[in-house]
Amino acid sequence: MKDCAAVAGIHSARAALKFGADGVGALWLERSRRDRRLGELAELARAAGVEVRQVDRDTLERAAEGANHQGAVAWVRVPAARAEADLDRLLDALEVPPLLLLLDGVQDPHNLGACLRSADAVGVHAVVAPKDNAVGLTPVACKVASGAAETVPYVQVTNLARTMDRLKERGIWLIGTAGETNAELYGADLRGPLGLVMGREGSGLRRLTRERCDALVRLPMLGQVESLNVSVAAGVCLYEALRQRRG
């Protein structure tokens, strides 16, 4: 379907229907399966006014592109990114210390999608990224996000460094990741108003972004590999923040 991403799997399709049904164009179910969970999905879709179509297994396989579809694919419209002004309104409305994820020029849609999925899992209030030299909300990113592109505000800003200055004025502590620092992630205090800043694939944080971080931390690497994929590193950092904030 044009301008839509195929979100495969019962859990992901359910999440898309529950939290962003307005953005779901259609639900495809495998015709030959008799599964209670697929029936519940169909009821959920019809209640939301979403078209339900019974298709054969081969059609689902092509739509899912190798993902485990479990007999269900939801076609999710690619959402528009939020504007800078939306970030201010979002922060003004929060009654808890904000938790943000800042991505400094991530260019792989698979990485963006995985970051959004981790952000949703830990309750990130917004993901912030520059408009230029960074991937946006593409169908591939939305597919990998498995519904998180609809639940986590994705804010694109004109100038990331300037946005970081404004966040710091709000009292948000910005912690970036860099392999050359001696400070480890697990020694950082991640409990207050926080923005975790992750660099792009390969080159890491840009100079202006790095300079605006209040602190830099690294993930301990005990093997021969020098660094982790940015989406994996983001997941590790976000879950350490969640651990501390719940404690």
Query: Which residue reads 């359910």 in tokens?
Result: 14
Binding residue per annotation — 202? no
Question: How many angstroms separate the CA atoms of 201 and 97, rounded?
Answer: 29
Question: How many angstroms separate the CA atoms of 177 and 123, rounded?
Answer: 20
**CA torsion, points 185, 242, 17, 34, in degrees to nearest 10?**
90
The beta strands (E) that lie in 105-235 are given as 126-130, 154-157, 173-177, 194-199, 215-217
Give the C-alpha distances (Å, rounded to integers) separating 70 from 34, 57, 133: 11, 10, 36
Q: What are the two backbone dihedrals, phi and then psi, of residue 221, each rounded to the nearest 5 degrees?
A: -120, 110
Binding residue per annotation — 199? yes
Q: Starting from the edge strand earliest in sequence, which strands make up the sheet with 173-177, in order? A: 154-157, 126-130, 99-104, 194-199, 173-177, 215-217
Binding residue per annotation — 9? no
Question: How many angstroms separate the CA atoms of 230 and 212, rounded?
Answer: 19
* Residue 243: count of CB within 10 angstroms of its CB: 12
Residue 48: closest CA among 40, 60, 36: 40
Give the residue numbers of the binding site for S-adenosyl-L-methionine.
Answer: 199, 219, 228
Give the residue numbers of the binding site.
Answer: 199, 219, 228
